[in-house]
Amino acid sequence: MSPSIEIQLIAAITAAACAIPGVFLVLRKMALISDAISHSILPGIVIGFMITQDLASPWLILLAAVSGIITVVLVELIQKTGLVKEDTAIGLVFPALFSVGVLLIAQNANDVHLDVDAVLLGELAFAPFDRLIVGGIDVGPKSLWTITAILSFTIILLIAFYKELKVSTFDIGLSSALGFSPVIMHYGLMSVASVTTVAAFDAVGAILVVALIITPAAAAYLLTTDLKKMLALSVLFGTSSAIGGYWFARAIDASIAGSITTVLGLLFLIIYLFAPSKGLIAVLLKQSSQRIEVSLLTFLLHLNNHDSLEERSVAHLQEHINWQRVKAKSVLDLALKNNMIVIDNKVVSLTQKGLDFTEKAIEYIITNKDEKIEDMKDDFFLFRG
Amino acid sequence: MTQKIAVAVDDLTVAYNYKPVLWDIDLSIPEGVLMAIVGPNGAGKSTLIKSILGIIDPIAGSVTIYGKPYSRQRDKVAYVPQKGSVDWDFPTTALDVVMMGTYGSLGWIKRPGAKQKKQALEALEKVGMLAFKGRQISQLSGGQQQRIFLARALVQNAAIYFMDEPFQGVDATTEIAIINILKELRKAGKTVIVVHHDLQTVPEYFDWVTFLNVKHIATGPVKDIFNDDNLTKTYGINYKVAVQQ
């Protein structure tokens, strides 16, 4: 394998391994804790390195994962005292642990390639240099093997405990009552997140690993209402950004980690703007059509309440309901398009359909019973809640 | 009385940050009652249910379900948490939420299959929500969400049902639908325990009642103990005018 392909493979597999726990962190509103973990595993990595003198040693990953768990425990302990809130507790814990790591590096690791830059931004470009040799045969970069093992482990856990993860994320009370201890699930997830972060740390560094965990899940959340699809989309976004980011970095001769994160960020921005129902533009469009539909309803109610020709003339509507010409026209057009009114000699009358619609709408507004409007929901945003 | 005791609470004390929320509660709930737990805000009603179900650890006391600890009787108990306790934007459908009721009988790792799906669909039908099975849960009204929760409890096919304010924020139709299902459960010999807020409807909906305000005040048949004396003891003000029996 060429180094280029090896780097892309490492990046893509890392992204996939990060995206899976990321989905559950986002759904549990714990995105910040991944930031905390990614920073506070540093002392674990440094101590592990001091003991083993090997950056790719499994002990390093284990020790770092332990410091990840310690972070979570510390945050919860501080929070439990009730003296500070959760976000404050996170903000207290991880800089403390991270600074211990930085000091340890400065004291002990000056002469090796574990430096602060590498810790912050990763060393993806150098990953292919560190080979795994088994029985004298070069089987590929060490980090490729590590991250592949972690991804496989994550997938096995995900498949085995999918239903437990789902129920404990959605409804912690039910999960506990059913005997699926939310505490076990919580620490299980935190352990996987820590282990993954440690492995990804090598590739993209402490700051950018957060993007790999959170961004794909946040983007997928805007596109689907199905947990399985959300997982699949997150993995897809993560891996494609990793590969896209690699080529972007080659094109502009810049940091691979930085490029991957930039591509991820752009991907999120596009989805944030254009997602079909939860995207910014869709939401704005929906709000504007809701405004028109409320106006339509007001207009139909007005027609329903007034019989006289004068009250129902097109010109009168503009001055009486106090609408601008444009708005009055768009409401009239909408009513006409839906066959709710007829205009005869500049006088507006409700059709039978218009009458039915108005009555149903009044009943809905008065009783707030959803059953009444089930068949109207497809045509009108207003009733979609 | 020769009635079996479904739930027994002995000397239960629960505290948050050293302040007792429930204080030395002794309570026996006979099998087959439809019971309301009433009391003012902060009386510990939800906490009582949560500690019976082992969701909160008490600092003293014990709870038994049909004479055994809850952890050995999980399959006999179904739980409907407060609607507001979950994030309804969670990416899942009505059917999927109801399926979660079957997870307990499956145990760890095993996945729900066709049998569980059938049970979930039947429960959805019972609460009149079959037409909404594929709908994302945030697209449901408050009353519909509550019915989904009820269906999820029905799927558990338990002997005892605990419900935390099932009438909170639901429309009148849903309230009637829910109470009818609860009455059916009682007819089928189940025990139903409901945290309830609306004192006016207690005599109409329930046959058994527990008054709670940090301490246990009274438990018994509505017709015997739902009176001014107990209401005053629980709420601290005279309810003579508010509730007419």
Choice between A369 and A81, residue whose per-residue pLDDT is larger: A81
State yes or no: pLDDT of A373 exceeds 60: no
Which tokens belong to A339?
């066959």
Inter-chain touch A167–B100, beta carbons under 8 Å: yes
Which of B81, B131, B173 is opposite residue A173, by nearest beta carbon?
B81
Mean pLDDT over each residue of chain B, to the nearest integer: 91
Task: Note the pLDDT of residue A80.
Answer: 84
pTM: 0.87
Grouping H, G, I as helix, E, B as strand and the rest as coil, residue B165 is coil
Residues of B contacting chain A (CB within 8 angstroms): 17, 50, 53-55, 71, 74, 77, 79, 81, 85-87, 90-93, 97, 100, 103-104, 106-109, 111-112, 131, 136, 138-139, 141, 143-144, 152, 171, 173
From the CB of residue B151, how many other CB atoms can be counted at a distance below 10 Å? 29
Which of A164, A227, A369 is opposite residue B91, by nearest beta carbon?
A227
DSSP A64-79: HHHHHHHHHHHHHHHH
Q: Distances from the Cα of A65 to the Cαs of A35, A47, A310, A357, in angstroms?
A: 14, 12, 78, 61
Mean pLDDT over each residue of chain A, to the nearest integer: 85
Residue A19 and residue A147 in contact, taking contact as beta carbons nearer than 8 Å: no
C-alpha distance from B226 to closest chain A C-alpha (Å):
30
Mean pLDDT of A97-106: 87
What is the percent of chain B with per-residue pLDDT over 70, rounded to a whole number?
Answer: 96
Choice between A334 and B155, residue whose per-residue pLDDT is larger: B155
Tokens 């006999």 belong to residue: B76
Grouping H, G, I as helix, E, B as strand and the rest as coil, residue B195 is strand
What is the percent of chain A with per-residue pLDDT over 90, rounded to a whole number?
Answer: 39
Inter-chain touch A173–B171, beta carbons under 8 Å: no
Which residue of chain A comes nearest to B102, CA vs CA? A178
Q: Which residues are within 8 A (CB) of B98 and not within 5 positions of it... i.e. 6 or more apart?
A: B120, B123, B124, B148, B151, B152, B155
State yes or no: pLDDT of B245 exceeds 50: no
Instruction: Burial-class residue B121 by CB neighbours within 10 Å (0-12, 13-18, 19+).
Output: middle
Which tokens belong to B131?
């037409």
State yes or no: pLDDT of A111 exceeds 70: no
- For residue A221, list chain B residues with Cβ-Cβ distance below 8 A: 91
**Listed residue (B130, B121, B176, B187) closest to B154, CA to CA:** B121
Residues of A contacting chain B (CB within 8 angstroms): 27, 29, 82, 160-164, 166-167, 169-174, 176-180, 221, 224-227, 229-230, 367-371, 374, 384-385
Return left, alpha or beta for A179; rule: phi > 0 is left, psi -120 to 50 is alpha, else beta: left
State yes or no: pLDDT of A158 exceeds 90: yes
State yes or no: pLDDT of B150 exceeds 70: yes
Residue B201 corresponds to which amino acid? T
From the CB of residue B140, how many other CB atoms can be counted at a distance below 10 Å? 21
How many Å separate Cα A116 from the centre of its chain? 29
- For residue B112, list chain A residues with Cβ-Cβ distance below 8 A: 163
Residue A293 and residue A381 in contact, taking contact as beta carbons nearer than 8 Å: yes
List, as own/partner pairs, every contact residues B173-179 make where C-beta atoms lie below 8 angstroms and the sequence separation is at least 24, other chains included: B173/A369, B173/A371, B173/B143, B174/B143, B174/B144, B174/B146, B174/B147, B177/B127, B177/B128, B177/B147, B178/B146, B178/B147, B178/B150, B179/B205
Q: Which residues are within 8 A (CB) of B94 and not within 5 positions of it... i.e. 6 or more apart?
A: B124, B129, B132, B133, B134, B135, B137, B140, B144, B148
Beta pairing partners, B10: B62
Helical segments of A58-129, H only: 58-80, 86-108, 116-121
Which of A164, A170, A367 is opposite residue B108, by nearest beta carbon?
A164
Q: Which residues are within 8 A (CB) of B92 and not within 5 positions of it... i.e. 6 or more apart?
A: A166, A170, A225, A226, A227, B136, B137
Choice between A110 and B146, residue whose per-residue pLDDT is larger: B146
Highest mean pLDDT out of A63-77, A357-371, B76-90: B76-90
- Phi first, then psi, for residue A93 (nearest 5°) are -75, -50
Q: In what order do the strands lie in the sheet with B60-65?
A: B19-30, B5-16, B60-65, B68-69
Instruction: Burial-class residue A179 by CB neighbours within 10 Å (0-12, 13-18, 19+).
Output: middle
Task: Note the pLDDT of residue B240.
Answer: 55
Note the pLDDT tens digit of each residue in B78-124.
999 999 899 999 999 999 999 999 999 999 999 999 999 999 999 99
Note the pLDDT tens digit of each residue in A70-101.
999 999 899 888 888 888 999 999 999 989 98
- For residue B93, list chain A residues with Cβ-Cβ distance below 8 A: 225-226
Note the pLDDT tens digit of each residue in B128-139.
999 999 999 998
The mean-pLDDT minimum among A72-76, A116-120, A161-165 falls in A116-120
CA distance B118 to B122: 6
Inter-chain touch B91–A226, beta carbons under 8 Å: yes
Task: Note the pLDDT of residue A374.
Answer: 59
Q: Distances from the Cα of A276 to the Cαs of A86, A224, A229, A261, in angstroms?
A: 34, 10, 15, 24
Task: Note the pLDDT of residue A297.
Answer: 81
Q: Distances from the Cα of A286 to the Cαs of A145, B26, B37, in angstroms?
A: 48, 54, 43
Note the pLDDT tens digit of each residue in A17-62.
999 999 999 999 998 888 898 888 888 888 888 888 776 677 888 8
Residue A264 and residue A234 in contact, taking contact as beta carbons nearer than 8 Å: no
Mean pLDDT of B145-154: 95
Which residue of chain B comes nearest to A176, CA vs CA? B55
**Listed residue (A159, A146, A138, A170) closest to A55, CA to CA:** A146
H or E, element range at B188 = none
**Listed residue (A246, A161, A263) closest to A212, CA to CA:** A263
- For residue B139, list chain A residues with Cβ-Cβ distance below 8 A: 384-385
Note the pLDDT tens digit of each residue in A243-297.
999 999 999 998 888 899 999 999 999 999 999 988 999 999 888 877 877 788 8
H or E, element range at B23 = strand B19-30
Task: Note the pLDDT of residue A385.
Answer: 46
Residue A185 and residue A176 in contact, taking contact as beta carbons nearer than 8 Å: no
Residue A259 and residue A124 in contact, taking contact as beta carbons nearer than 8 Å: no
Task: Note the pLDDT of residue B123.
Answer: 95
Which of A27, A177, A367 is opposite residue B79, by nearest beta carbon?
A177
C-alpha distance from B165 to closest chain A C-alpha (Å):
14
